[in-house]
């Protein structure tokens, strides 16, 4: 009997060890991969580029062969990530001087903060000397947002504001006319009218993460007369304007929004809308390129675009740009600039247009893009409104009240990433019906005050 | 030495205030970080989320694993294929598994689960918004059931044939044989499965990061730690969370290992 027991015990341990080994193998699969260099890396400069997995960046990876053909001594490896993951990964890397990447895709929020910390390379040393690069052709508000003292610290790849998109079929079937400059109340009423089991009335972001969950909401807060801080950095989250905005946003999501708001950010709404399963969608102007591409979208050519809805302000779009920057830790800065020059240069628009389709050209970065006849024709539905909105927003004073920082859908302080993320999680509980608006605002007010105190 | 140095460095950081985005403003703050961590209530709610998610997932995975092991512990055509297919979820990268569930299965718009529900007239479920904890548990149970199955199958197959034969000769039916012969024999395998499963699952991160992002009571300790360090960029506070997590894990591991040794001691002297 005892020998049998020994056998069974050995079998149990053996199986356990085997299973644990399998578990370890599975874990190691998750971590490996990046940063391999080929045998001939002595002659070829390999660049590692971290970027967000938005369609325009996916296109850039698809076209990188053109760059590599012109520059046989440079190879570019792309690491594509979701917005939240990208931000975490690159911030961690640069703040700890990790040096994993040679080119970073960073947003307008990071540029100024990172420049202050002396983390990114001044690109003007190359851009100013290169007449072909034509820095004056960059979209003025975007150029301002990535410059400090007129020096360029990141090269805009594309710029965007926000606007309201609608599915023409669904809207005209309901006998509705969407005004060119609607109010949020009008939009909520129209969305409710067209909401059915088959499609959502409107798709609004509710996914946690400051970039995902707070961007859209902040423009609503601004136009409802709310704000995060007063001029002395006292938190204003529990005040009337913010309360009205959050109440409106959560009620609209509940009444006529997508079914699973906590899962829905930009990509999810893009999928829903392009499948014809949402009547309205309030989001980035850069979405239009994908919405109008017949290969990607079932509603291409059938979408209307109007200004971001307002309540108390004249305009309520946001201002954002995705930019390419070189971390100071990179050992391959010259090669990195070569790639950035190609990807953000004047000719890139034509390359995308000819190779992949004109509606997929990255918008809002270069004025010359808007002079290309093919682009005007392909992007006629949304090009003008994008340009107009981007030139009419005011990042220094987007809301009703004055604010002590520059930024529309974000606050340019180091604590914002944390505050925005935490706040978005609290607000997600409101969308899910597990928390009241008042409780959520009281909780976020406390978090915001802590961040505000750090600025005093 | 190699394992302890990082831990000592973590303890050192836990006494400092250091936000990565303010590189020039590091300073010593004593136990302030610990006071913040314990005072905010986030740590305790996160500990509870971890216990709940791990506890339920392990328990259900053991039950399912047992059922599958019983089914596999008999000869049938295609047994090898069935076993391979059943093991597959455990071999999948946790992040890939979470993505498959998020997009292909549980998505409210194109997910197959909601599609299947629609066939039988059940209205679609917003898994992530309405049932975040269940969503995470489903993924974990799916992924860890094969692990449990493997262990329990080994237990079943190590069951001495002569004992089962004797039981049959004595007129015991399958149910009685299972209850009085198989279950006691499997006890140590179940205990091992629970312990190893709990240790592996304590680190659950991927489905939380990919599916719920810490909402709805799914902020497990590992996700909380990640958030403090890489979203909040508060290195001092994250280090304090880390130190406390290590203490909790050591306590859990000690209790677990003691139980494990007790099991084998009893078994050995029997």
Name every chain B residue with its beta carbon within 8 A of the beta carbon of A259. Answer: 108-109, 124, 126, 129
Note whether residue A101 is domain-resident: yes
Name every chain A residue with its beta carbon within 8 A of the beta carbon of B128. Answer: 260, 262-263
Residue A20 pLDDT exceeds 50: no
Question: Among the listed ranges A222-231, A417-426, B66-75, which one has the minimum average pLDDT value?
Answer: B66-75
Domain end point (choices A351, A380, A409): A380
Q: How many CB pairs under 8 A join A and B?
A: 150
Question: Among the listed ranges A28-32, A42-46, A166-170, which one has the minimum average pLDDT value?
Answer: A28-32
User: CB of A434 within 8 A of CB of B131?
Assistant: no
- The answer to whether residues A131 and A272 belong to one domain is no
pLDDT confidence of A15, banded at 50, 70, 90?
A: very low
H/E stretch holding A164 reads strand A162-167
Mutual angle of helices B132-157 and B42-72, in 10-degree steps: 40
- The answer to whether residues A208 and A85 belong to one domain is no
Least Cα distance to A341 among A170, A125, A151, A27 occurs for: A125
- The answer to whether residues A23 and A12 belong to one domain is yes
Alpha helices, H only, A280-397: 287-291, 333-344, 348-356, 373-378, 383-392
Note whether residue A84 is domain-resident: yes
**Token couple for A25:** 């193998």
Write out the residue range of the structural domain in which residue A403 sits: 162-317+393-453
Name every chain A residue with its beta carbon within 8 A of the beta carbon of B154. Answer: 11-12, 14-15
Q: What percent of chain B has pLDDT over 70?
A: 96
Name every chain B residue with its beta carbon within 8 A of the beta carbon of A5. Answer: 267, 270
For B122, which DSSP code? P
The backbone torsions φ and ψ at residue A282, rounded to the nearest 5 degrees and listed phi first, read -100, 115
- The answer to whether residues A114 and A235 belong to one domain is no
- pLDDT at residue number B232: 85
CA distance B77 to chain A (A): 24
Residue A394 pLDDT exceeds 90: no
**Alpha-carbon span A144 to A141, nearest angstrom:** 5
**Alpha-carbon span B159 to A125, nearest angstrom:** 76
Question: Among the listed ranges A148-157, A172-181, B184-193, which one has the minimum average pLDDT value?
Answer: B184-193
C-alpha A455, offset from chain centre? 26
Q: Please judge whether B20 and A95 are an interchain contact, meaning their C-beta atoms are less than 8 angstroms apart.
A: yes
**Alpha-carbon span B240 to B27, nearest angstrom:** 15
Note whether residue A123 is domain-resident: yes
**Mutation choice for A interface testing from B46, B156, B158, B162 by most A CBs within 10 A:** B158
**Alpha-carbon span B224 to B22, nearest angstrom:** 21
Question: Which chain A residue's Cα is nearest to B204?
Answer: A27
Residues B79-110: tens digit of each pLDDT: 889 888 999 999 989 999 999 999 889 988 88
Note whether residue A386 is domain-resident: no
- The answer to whether residues A97 and A197 belong to one domain is no
Using DSSP, state whether B120 is helix, strand or coil: coil
- The answer to whether residues A146 and A286 belong to one domain is no
- The answer to whether residues A218 and A116 belong to one domain is no
**Alpha-carbon span A103 to A107, nearest angstrom:** 13
pLDDT confidence of B169, banded at 50, 70, 90?
A: confident
Least Cα distance to A393 among A454, A276, A308, A284 occurs for: A308
Name every chain B residue with its beta carbon within 8 A of the beta carbon of A419. Answer: none
Q: Looking at this predicted complex, what is its ipTM?
A: 0.86
Q: Please judge whether A262 and B129 are an interchain contact, meaning their C-beta atoms are less than 8 angstroms apart.
A: yes
For A137, which DSSP code? G
Question: Which chain A residue's Cα is nearest to B91?
Answer: A26
**Mutation choice for A interface testing from B58, B92, B104, B128 by most A CBs within 10 A:** B128
Note whether residue A419 is domain-resident: yes
A193-222 residues touching B, CB cutoff 8 A: 206-209
Note whether residue A385 is domain-resident: no
In chain A, how many domains are there? 2
Q: Domain containing A32 — which CATH number?
A: 3.40.190.10
Residues A255-286: tens digit of each pLDDT: 999 999 999 999 899 999 999 999 999 999 98
- The answer to whether residues A218 and A284 belong to one domain is yes
The radius of gyration computed from the CA coordinates of chain B, to the nearest angstrom, equals 23
- The answer to whether residues A142 and A166 belong to one domain is no
- The answer to whether residues A310 and A366 belong to one domain is no
**Mutation choice for B interface testing from A115, A209, A263 by most B CBs within 10 A:** A263
Least Cα distance to A420 among A203, A161, A113, A208 occurs for: A208
Residue B64 pLDDT exceeds 90: yes
- The answer to whether residues A153 and A238 belong to one domain is no
Name every chain B residue with its beta carbon within 8 A of the beta carbon of A418. Answer: 231-234
Using DSSP, state whether A290 is helix, strand or coil: helix
Note whether residue A115 is domain-resident: yes
Domain end point (choices A330, A346, A380): A380
Domain end point (choices A329, A356, A380): A380
Using DSSP, state whether A128 is helix, strand or coil: coil
- The answer to whether residues A186 and A238 belong to one domain is yes
Residues B173-226: tens digit of each pLDDT: 788 888 888 888 888 888 889 888 988 898 889 999 999 999 999 999 999 999
- pLDDT at residue number B260: 67
- A17 — contact with chain B (CB < 8 Å)? no
Q: Please judge whether B158 and A8 are an interchain contact, meaning their C-beta atoms are less than 8 angstroms apart.
A: yes
pLDDT confidence of A97, banded at 50, 70, 90?
A: confident
pTM for this one? 0.82
Residue with tokens 């971290």: A50
Mean per-residue pLDDT over chain A, rounded: 88
A36-95 residues touching B, CB cutoff 8 A: 84, 88, 91-92, 95
- pLDDT at residue number B266: 63
Residues B217-259: tens digit of each pLDDT: 999 999 999 988 888 888 899 999 989 888 887 887 788 777 7
Question: Which chain A residue's Cα is nearest to B219?
Answer: A425
Question: Which chain B residue's Cα is nearest to A28?
Answer: B93
């Amino acid at each position: 009997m005892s020998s049998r027991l020994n056998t069974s015990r050995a079998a149990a341990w053996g199986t356990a060890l085997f299973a644990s080994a399998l578990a370890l193998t599975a874990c190691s699969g998750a971590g490996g991969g990046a940063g391999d260099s080929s045998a001939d890396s002595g002659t070829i400069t390999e660049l590692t580029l971290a970027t967000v997995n938005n369609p325009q960046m996916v296109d850039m990876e698809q076209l990188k062969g053109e760059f590599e053909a012109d520059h046989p001594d440079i190879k570019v490896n792309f690491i594509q990530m979701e917005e939240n993951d990208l931000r975490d990964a690159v911030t961690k890397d640069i703040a700890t001087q990790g040096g994993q990447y040679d080119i970073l895709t960073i947003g307008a929020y990071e540029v100024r903060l990172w420049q202050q910390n002396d983390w990114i390379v001044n690109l003007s040393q190359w851009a100013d000397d290169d007449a072909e690069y034509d820095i004056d052709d960059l979209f003025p508000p975007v150029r301002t947002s990535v410059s400090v003292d007129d020096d360029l610290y990141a090269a805009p790849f594309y710029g965007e504001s926000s606007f309201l998109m609608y599915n023409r079929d669904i809207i005209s079937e309901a006998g509705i006319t969407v005004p060119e400059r609607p109010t949020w109340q009008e939009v909520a009423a129209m969305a409710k009218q067209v909401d059915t089991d088959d499609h959502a009335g409107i798709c609004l972001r509710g996914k946690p993460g400051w970039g995902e969950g707070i961007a859209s909401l902040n423009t609503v807060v601004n136009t409802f007369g709310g704000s995060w801080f007063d001029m002395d950095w006292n938190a204003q989250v529990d005040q009337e304007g913010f309360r009205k905005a959050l109440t409106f946003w959560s009620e609209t999501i509940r009444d006529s929004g997508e079914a699973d708001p906590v899962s829905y950010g930009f990509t999810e709404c893009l999928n829903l809308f392009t499948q014809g399963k949402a009547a309205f969608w309030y989001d980035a102007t850069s979405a239009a390129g994908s919405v109008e591409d017949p290969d990607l979208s079932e509603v291409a050519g059938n979408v209307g675009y109007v200004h971001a809805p307002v309540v108390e302000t004249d305009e309520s779009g946001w201002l954002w740009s995705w930019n390419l920057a070189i971390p100071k830790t990179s050992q391959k800065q010259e090669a990195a600039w070569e790639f950035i020059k190609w990807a953000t240069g004047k000719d890139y628009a034509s390359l995308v247009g000819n190779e992949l389709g004109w509606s997929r050209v990255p918008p809002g970065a270069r004025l010359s893009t808007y002079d290309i006849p093919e682009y005007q024709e392909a992007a006629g539905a949304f090009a003008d409104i994008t340009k107009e909105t981007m030139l009419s927003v005011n990042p220094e004073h987007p809301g009703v009240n004055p604010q002590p920082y520059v930024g529309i859908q974000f606050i340019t302080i180091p604590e914002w990433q944390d505050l925005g993320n935490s706040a978005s999680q609290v607000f997600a509980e409101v969308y899910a019906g597990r928390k009241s608006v008042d409780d959520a605002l009281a909780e976020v007010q406390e978090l915001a005050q802590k961040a505000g105190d750090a600025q005093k | 030495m190699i394992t302890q140095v990082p831990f000592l460095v973590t303890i050192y950081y836990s006494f400092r205030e250091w936000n990565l985005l303010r590189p020039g403003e590091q300073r010593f703050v004593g136990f302030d970080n610990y006071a913040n961590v314990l005072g905010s209530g986030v740590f305790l709610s996160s500990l509870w989320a971890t216990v709940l998610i791990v506890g339920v997932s392990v328990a259900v995975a053991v039950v399912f694993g047992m059922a599958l092991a019983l089914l596999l512990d008999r000869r049938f055509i295609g047994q090898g294929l069935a076993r391979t297919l059943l093991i597959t979820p455990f071999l999948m990268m946790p992040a890939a598994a979470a993505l498959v569930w998020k997009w292909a299965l549980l998505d409210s718009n194109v997910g197959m689960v909601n599609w299947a529900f629609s066939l039988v007239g059940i209205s679609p479920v917003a898994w992530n918004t309405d049932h975040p904890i269940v969503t995470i548990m489903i993924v974990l149970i799916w992924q860890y059931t094969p692990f449990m199955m493997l262990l329990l199958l080994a237990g079943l197959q190590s069951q001495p044939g002569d004992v089962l034969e004797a039981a049959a000769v004595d007129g015991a039916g399958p149910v009685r044989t299972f209850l009085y012969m198989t279950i006691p024999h499997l006890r140590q395998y179940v205990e091992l499965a629970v312990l190893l499963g709990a240790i592996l699952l304590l680190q659950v991160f991927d489905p939380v990061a990919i599916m719920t992002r810490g909402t709805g009571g799914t902020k497990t300790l590992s996700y909380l730690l990640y958030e403090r360090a890489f979203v909040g960029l508060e290195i001092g506070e994250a280090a304090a969370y880390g130190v406390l997590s290590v203490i909790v894990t050591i306590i859990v591991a000690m209790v677990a290992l003691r139980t494990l040794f007790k099991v084998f001691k009893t078994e050995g002297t029997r």
